[in-house]
Every structure is written in C-alpha cells, then in structure tokens.
Amino acid sequence: MNNFISVKDVTDIDALVAKALLFKQQPFAESLLGNNKKIGLLFLNPSLRTRISTQVAAKNLGMEAIVFNVDKEGWALEFTEGAVMNGTTVEHVKDAAPVLGSYFDILCIRTFPSLKNREEDYAETIINQFILHAGVPVISLESATLHPLQSLTDVITITESLKEKNITKPKIVLSWAPHIKPLPQCVANSFSQWINAWGKADFVITHPEGYELDEQFTKGATITHDQQEALKNADFVYVKNWSSYHDYGAMPAVEGDWMLTNEKLASGNQAKIMHCLPVRRNVELSDELLDGPNSLVTEQGANRVWAAQAVIAEMLTRKTNK
Ligand code: CP
C-alpha cells in the first residue's frame, strides 16, 4: 500500500479487516513496528474520532504521532500551480509538503470540500498535491470526496456484527437524512465505494430526488427514492446526510420526513443502525434509535482505532520490506 486514499489502494478488503480485528484482540501485537518512526497528522478542519483514533493507533504500534492544525496554526496554503501569491495565501504546498515529508515517515491529511466548485473538489487537488510533493506515504483522514478510514471501519463493524447475526449476504441500506446545513458527499461516496468493492451485500441507497450521488461510487447499488421500500428487511441501515452532487452543494427541497425512527423500521429485520458521527440528534436520527439496542454508532467510533492501526501497520511493513 503506497498511499491510502480510497478502496482502490486496498488489494484485499477482508484481509485488512481481519488484520484490524486481530489488533482489536491484541492492540500491542506489533508494538515495535513503528519504533523510532513518526507520523504527522495534518488537519484543515475539526475532528474528534479521526484525530484521536489515529493517534492511539500509532501509539499502539510504537510510533510517535504529531498533530498539526494547519487551518489554525499554520501558514495559509496555496494549491494552485503557477499562482501569483499576492493575496491571502502565504506558503505553496510545493514548498510545505517536502519539508513535512522530511519530518515524517507517514503523512496523514484531513481536508474538506469547498462545496462550491465540483470540478476542483472532485479533482482532489489538496490531497493529490501532498501525494505529489511529500515524498512519503500519505493517508487520507477524509478528503474532498472520500473518507476511507471511516469506510474501512464500517466494513469492520458490519463484519463483526454479521458473525453475531449469522447472516452471509446482508441487506445494507444507505439512507439519506435531513440536516440543517449542506454537508459533503464524502462519507456516502466512500461507503458506497467500499460496499460495492466488498461485494458481499445486497446494497440499496435511498434518498430524495435531487440527492443523486456520483455514479462512479454508487454503480452496482440499487437506488430508490422510496425510503420505506428500501428499509424493508434491512439488516443494516447507514444513516447520513449529504448535499446535492448535481446542483453542487445545494440542499434541494425534500418532500416528507426522512429522519429515521423506530416506527419506520417496525416491519423490518431488527436492523442495526449506523452513523459515522458526529450526529445531529433528532434531526438526522432519533434519540430512540441512537440510544436503542440496535445502534452500532459507539462500536463504529471505537473501531476507528483498529482501522487506522491496520492501515498504518500495512504501510510500515511495506516500508520495512523495501
Ligand atoms: N467520523 C468522523 O470522521 O469523525 P470526526 O469528524 O470526529 O473525525
């Protein structure tokens, strides 16, 4: 694994999941792997789970993790090639990334989309510029369009739950949820990409009209505007808001109430409820579901450590074998 930006960087999803679950059993099984190595975590926007779980994962591998809040503590970065930097940006990524690469063995970056310019966001300019100029492996801590550590965690959490449920081919539903402001498509894109690549589920995506995602991620899933139909016999319901991809960043008006409740799931399969967090309670998801016996949200958050640890260990092993 050279970089970890999307599911395309993973040759065997189940093997990576198995590695993560092994770390869950034995967190310090490879505690010398990262000895005398450093990992840099750069944040261009806030985080609770991604930041701390990656730090814990690195520590379990004997690595030192250094966090840098670029948006608050660093110079304003420029990403445009050939830019005349007479405005607000102070330092070009071409200058900053190689320096950061010289400090660290692995560089991790969290960015966010502008939600204003789709072409720019979907070109993943920021993370690609770091990959181009850092000279060390790069891990995405969420990019403009994808959130691969979250999606790996989600597959880990589903895999664990499947063992308990004794199901071989689950029905997994990604269900759009309301929100008070426009959010990126990253989590929904990434979840779709991973579940499709995993290939072990009957995968259904349900959302209101106007919230179609980029087909490059959803191809292979059944897509419906009928939420109630989608929820029938679901084993897992992943709840998430996203803004419009086609009318980029907009929040088209929605008919009906899309917030998931116990009542909507009443005729179902005792579906497990998933959300990446943070969640707006009683806007995206009802208290009754979040606090109920079928909620997996805490397990998902906790499993972020094992996903990060598996990915970092893969990279360290590759570097060691080089
Ligand atoms: N799910 C997730 O990425 O959480 P944070 O934004 O808190 O890192």
Is 50 near ligand 1, meaning CB less than 6 Å away?
yes
- State the pLDDT at residue 142: 98
Predicted confidence (pLDDT) per residue in 211-258, tens digit: 999 999 999 999 999 999 999 999 999 999 999 999 999 999 999 999
Atom of ligand 1 nearest to the CA of 46: 6
Under the banding of pLDDT at 50, 70 and 90, the label for residue 319 is: low
| pLDDT higher than 70, residue 3 | yes
Q: What CATH number is given to the structural domain containing 120? A: 3.40.50.1370
279 Cα: distance to centroid of ligand 1 (angstroms): 10
- Same domain? For 154 and 193 the reply is yes
Is 276 near ligand 1, meaning CB less than 6 Å away?
yes
Task: State which of 41, 42, 48 you would mutate to test the pocket of ligand 1, scoring each by most atoms of that ligand within 8 A of its C-beta.
Answer: 48
Predicted confidence (pLDDT) per residue in 108-151, tens digit: 999 999 999 999 999 999 999 999 999 999 999 999 999 999 99
- State the pLDDT at residue 322: 46
If DSSP states are collapsed to H, E and C, what string results for the chain? CCCECCHHHCCCHHHHHHHHHHHHHCCCCCCCCCCCCEEEEEECCCCCHHHHHHHHHHHHCCCEEEEEEHHHHCCCEECCCCCCCCCCCCEEHHHHHHHHHHHCCEEEEECCCCCCCHHHHHCCHHHHHHHHHHCCCEEECCCCCCCHHHHHHHHHHHHHHHHHHCCCCCEEEEEECCCCCCCCCHHHHHHHHHHHHHCCCEEEEECCCCCCCCHHHHECEEEECCHHHHHCCCCEEEEECCCCCCCCCCCCCCCCCCCECCHHHCCCCCCEEECCCCCCECCCECHHHHCCCCECHHHHHHHHHHHHHHHHHHHHHHHHHC
| pLDDT higher than 60, residue 320 | no
The verdict on residue 2 lying in a domain is no
- Same domain? For 28 and 142 the reply is yes
| pLDDT higher than 50, residue 1 | yes
- Same domain? For 74 and 171 the reply is no
- Same domain? For 17 and 37 the reply is yes
- Same domain? For 198 and 247 the reply is yes
- State the pLDDT at residue 202: 97
- Same domain? For 142 and 161 the reply is no
- Same domain? For 64 and 163 the reply is no
- State the pLDDT at residue 103: 98
- Same domain? For 16 and 110 the reply is yes
- Same domain? For 141 and 267 the reply is no
Q: How many domains does the chain have?
A: 2
- Same domain? For 154 and 283 the reply is yes
Which residue, judged by its Cα, is nearest atom 1 of ligand 1?
276
The verdict on residue 1 lying in a domain is no
What range does the domain containing 71 cover?
A: 7-146+304-321
What average pLDDT does the structure give for the chain?
96
